[in-house]
Amino acid sequence: MPDPAAVRPLLLSWFDRHARALPWRLTRPDGRRDPYRVWISEVLLQQTQVARGLVYFERFLTAFPDVERLAAAPEEAVLKAWEGCGYYARARNLHRAAREMAASGMPTTHQGWLALPGVGPYTAAAVASLAFGERQAVMDGNVRRVLSRLSGVREPTDRWAQQQADVLLDPQRPGDWNEALMDLGATICTPKSPRCAVCPLQTHCAAFASGDPAQYPAPKKRAAVQVTVAVALLIGDGEQAYLEQRTGTLLGGLWGLPLEEVRDVDVAGALNRLQQRLNATEAEWLGVVNHTMTHRQIQLRVYRAQAAKPLTAVGGRPLSRLDHKALALLAAPQPALFAG
């Protein structure tokens, strides 16, 4: 591992000149970040790229500018504001945590944040260091990659990476140090084609010295993608449709087209079960939607049918991207295929 006393001033000096201007980095009079904005942004960016996250962040903060208004909102309104971000358990946990904070106050320590619903070690360390100046080192994919390359370790364990991050953490500027490492990984020390020529830590980097820095760290083994095939019925149109509220952890709380999972490759059987449940007739083929969520891929076969069901304004309910894609089939040439 490089000498902390050598790399800290180099990286912080670079950060002072090149830090990304991001809306969640606005500072208060005391020079620290707003803990509410930091918290929302860190949860949002767990599964969302920064470019898309900027739009979602502004939309969410417009709807809920502080923890009190987030806590007071109904869950459906929170899910609607989160629409498009995916991984909706994050939004439900944000809502639960906001209600706890509204009742008991906002935590000011790492341990206090860890006790909230949906807050793990990374988010707790980020809020504690950025908003409260606590000496907590964050660990995400960008930080892990930078540390792996600095030390020339191809297969860093989680424990090793956290230990390195803890040792390198600048005790005087822990929040800035954490953001500097994340910015370096996001803009310079990228997974492919790292920009070593402009890296402030180049002379201290074992991976650069090896001549092939992109080989660090070794790729993680990914779990096999689980494919789920389902049938959906569109009753109504793209503006007014019959919607059902989903249950379970995957898309729980969201609304969408009624669907039935296909068993034993029997699409006709699934369609028949769905039609019988809804008392629907005249099923007309619309197309196929493919939607990927981390280790799960959903192949949704969409039909349009007639049934005496109450229709709901589509724009007034929180829908997943899967259902938005299904509704978009109405305007697509057939046969239609939307890649997830």
Residue 93 carries which side chain, given as an amino acid letter? N
Residue 183 carries which side chain, given as an amino acid letter? D
Residue 124 carries which side chain, given as an amino acid letter? A
Where in the chain are the domains? 4-215, 226-338
Give the whole-number percent of the chain exceeding pLDDT 90. 80
Q: Between 292 and 164, name the one with better pLDDT.
A: 164
Active site residue 134: no
Q: Single out the residue of 295, 308, 279, 288 nearest to residue 231, CA to CA.
A: 288
Architecture field, domain 226-338: Alpha-Beta Complex (3.90)
Q: The tokens 């009624």 sit on which residue?
A: 258
**pLDDT interval class at 336 (50, 70, 90):** very low
**What tens digit of pLDDT does each residue of 21-59 get?**
999 998 888 878 899 999 999 999 987 888 889 999 999
β-pairing verdict for 337-338 and 281-293: parallel
Q: The tokens 């995957």 sit on which residue?
A: 250
Is residue 323 scored above 70 in pLDDT? yes
Is residue 340 scored above 60 in pLDDT? no
Q: Single out the residue of 299, 323, 307 nearest to residue 275, CA to CA.
A: 307
Q: The tokens 């803009």 sit on which residue?
A: 187
| Residue 287 β-bridge partners | 302
d(CA 58, CA 60): 6
Q: Which two tokens stand for residue 244?
A: 């059902």
**pLDDT interval class at 339 (50, 70, 90):** very low
Find the catalytic residue in 42, 83, 179, 260.
42
Q: Which residues contact 324 (CB under 8 A, 6 or more apart)?
A: none
**pLDDT interval class at 332 (50, 70, 90):** low
d(CA 46, CA 94): 13
Whether residue 166 contacts residue 121, with contact meaning beta carbons closer than 8 Å, is answered with: no
- Provide the pLDDT for residue 250: 63
- Provide the pLDDT for residue 307: 96
d(CA 95, CA 76): 10
β-pairing verdict for 296-306 and 281-293: antiparallel
Q: Single out the residue of 296, 292, 324, 271 nearest to residue 83, CA to CA.
A: 324
* CATH class given for the domain over 4-215: mainly alpha
**What tens digit of pLDDT does each residue of 137-188 get?**
999 999 999 999 999 999 999 999 999 999 999 999 999 999 999 999 999 9
φ and ψ at residue 277, rounded to 5 degrees = -65, -35
Q: Model's pTM, two decimal places?
A: 0.85
Alpha-carbon torsion angle 117, 127, 37, 183, nearest 10: -120
Per-residue DSSP letters for 3-14?
-HHHHHHHHHHH
Average the pLDDT over 199-218 and give the result.
96
What is the average pLDDT value for the chain, to the nearest integer?
92
Average the pLDDT over 80-107 and give the result.
94
Is residue 9 scored above 60 in pLDDT? yes
